[in-house]
Structure 1
Amino acid sequence: MKKFIALFAAFAAFSTLLFADWANYGRYAKANEEVKASKNAPIAVFMGDSITDGWFGSRRQFFTENNYVGRGISGQVTTQMLARFQRDVVDLKPKVVLILAGTNDIARNHGPISLENIAGNIQSMCEIAKANKIKPVICSILPAAEYGWRKEIENVGDKIIEVNKMLQDYAKKNKIAYLDYHSKMVDERKGLPLKYSKDGVHPTAEGYAVMEEMAKPFIEKVAKSRN
């Protein structure tokens, strides 16, 4: 009996460590308080995974000079982003939120998930934004021909195109802005060309520059729109 109790206690402790702050609310907790204390609401929050995390980390001037905020967390799937959307987006009261998400879901970072549920999580973020008078922008998932850390996943490029089609249809039906990075950056393999990404998933400086050229005027247009 004592052995069983000891094993159960060890399992409980391990589970607590494993699942504590599963959505990583703590990552931007201090930064969010600083934004709120400044009383200078951002024009836009960029919500995403490692692609956004790397963007904000490596090209911060683009964000600071335009009053944008990056809220990307490496490795995250859409379910985690949906969970932290209140803290990392809504509470900051931006005019616009750009949602760039879904590639880690397709990579099964947290296990299998249907393409419909990936799109559904992004749609839910949009509905939360609209309910809080924040204008959502759905960003197309960036091209990828394969995932270096999940080489067993087949037809990655086709899956990304399929989710993007769902998102674009939803955006059109609900009068939500759709920012199509994919069409601008895709190559003949349905992936990212070498000049835009060294690993086929995360953009290079040149890749981010293309995205910035697209994002800035898009944000300005959405921020001024009446929708």
Structure 2
Amino acid sequence: MKKMIYGLFFGDSITYGEYDGVFGGWVDILKRYTLQKFHEGSNEVILFNLGIGGETTEGLLKRMPYEMAARNSEEGNIIFIGYGANDLAKKNGSYLVAPEQFEENIKTAVQYAKQYSNDIYLVSILPFSRNVDGVESATGKLRVNGDVLMYNQILTNIAAEHSLHYIDFYAAIVPDKEILLSADGVHPNEKGYGIMAETVIPIIEKYL
């Protein structure tokens, strides 16, 4: 008997797939992949892209319980949490979400997720390209690659502490970041999103 499993992807514009006019981002690539596999006879794995551009973990905590209650499969849920690129941005000298608060927010999100699933994946933050590292944007936000390492370490520690899975997109992108990021230096381009999807396909395979 085939199962119906839901995959819930919480995140910001990088989860949403912004700046990818070709494939629609990594989650949309995975959606098409799971649908194809279902037609070939695999379990039905339905993926929900719950990414919102500009969102921090503060916004996540406000909506996460409602989003999960609305999309809950009795046969199993996989939950992905991908935040940090906005949290670590500085505006007027202050982080949008300071490291200590980011850690607390992710831990709270994990507790919410555990009500619906034991299959929880924390997603690393991507590196920024040279042209935006330490440069204030038109919107007054400042992002620094050193902060990416610090916030990713928080995610790594939480994953280890709570026996969660960790998806290291940072390691997959950083060697070729200048050709895998879009012109804005923050979002991947279609090649970058393709590599992200390839990184996650082996994970999705386990549920098909």
TM-score range, shorter chain: 0.7 to 0.9
1:106 alignment partner, one of 88, 93, 107:
88
1:116 counterpart SS class: helix
* Secondary structure of the corresponding residue to residue 194 of structure 1: helix
Aligned mate of 1:202, from 181, 187, 190: 187
Q: Give the secondary structure class of the aligned counterpart of 1:96.
A: strand
Instruction: Measure, in 1, the Cα distance between the counterparts of 2:151 and 2:95.
Output: 17
Query: Which among 51, 69, 72 is matched to residue 14 of structure 2?
Result: 51
Aligned mates of 1:220, 1:172 — CA distance in 2: 23
Identity %: 27
Residues 157-215 of structure 1 show CA distances to partners (whole Å, capped at 9, x for unaligned) of 11111111111011112110000000111148xxx323333211111111111010111
Unpaired runs of 5+ residues, structure 1, are 1-39
Code of the residue aligned with 2:31 in structure 1: it is F
1:119 corresponds in structure 2 to: 103
Deviation per CA, 1:123-149, whole angstroms, max 9, x where unpaired? 211111112235210000111253634
- Superposed, which structure 2 residues align to 1:1-227 within 5 Å? 42-54=5-17, 58-59=24-25, 60=28, 62-66=30-34, 67-93=46-72, 95-108=77-90, 112-145=96-129, 146=133, 148-149=137-138, 153=142, 156-187=144-175, 192-221=177-206, 223=207
Asked if structure 1 preserves the Cα contact closer than 8 Å seen for 2:86 and 2:96, the reply is no
> Which whole-Å CA distance do the structure 2 matches of 1:119 and 1:149 have between them?
28
**Counting helix residues as a fraction of each chain, which structure ranks higher?**
1
Q: Distance in 1 between matches of 2:150 and 2:57?
A: 16
TM-score when normalising by structure 2 = 0.74
Superposition deviation, residue 46 in structure 1:
1.0
Bigger Cα displacement from structure 2, 73-82 vs 115-124: 115-124
Report the 3-state secondary structure (helix = DSSP H, G, I; strand = E; otherwise coil) of the residue aligned with 1:98: strand
User: CA, structure 1 residues 153+76, in 2 after alignment: closer, same or farther (shift >3 Å)?
Assistant: same
Please give the alpha-carbon distance, in whole angstroms, between the structure 1 residues aligned to 2:95 and 2:124.
22
| Shift, 1:75, TM fit | 0.9
Q: State the structure with bigger RCO (CA 8 A, min sep 6), 1 or 2.
A: 2
Q: Which deviates more from structure 2 when the two are superposed, residues 161-170 or residues 58-67? A: 58-67
Question: Please, which runs of 5 or more residues in structure 2 have no aligned partner?
Answer: 35-45
SS in 2 for 1:184: helix
Aligned residues: 180
Q: Can you list the C-alpha shifts for 1:4-50, whole angstroms capped at 9, x where unaligned?
A: xxxxxxxxxxxxxxxxxxxxxxxxxxxxxxxxxxxx96531111111
Measured on the aligned residues, the alpha-carbon RMSD in Å equals 2.8
Higher share in strand? 2
- Cα distance in 1, alignment partners of residues 180 and 117 from structure 2: 38
Separation in 1, partners of 2:69, 2:110: 11
TM-score normalized by the length of structure 1: 0.69
User: For the residues of structure 2 that align with 1:42 and 1:64, how far apart are their CA atoms?
Assistant: 15
Q: CA deviation at 1:152?
A: 6.2
SS at 1:99's partner residue?
Answer: strand
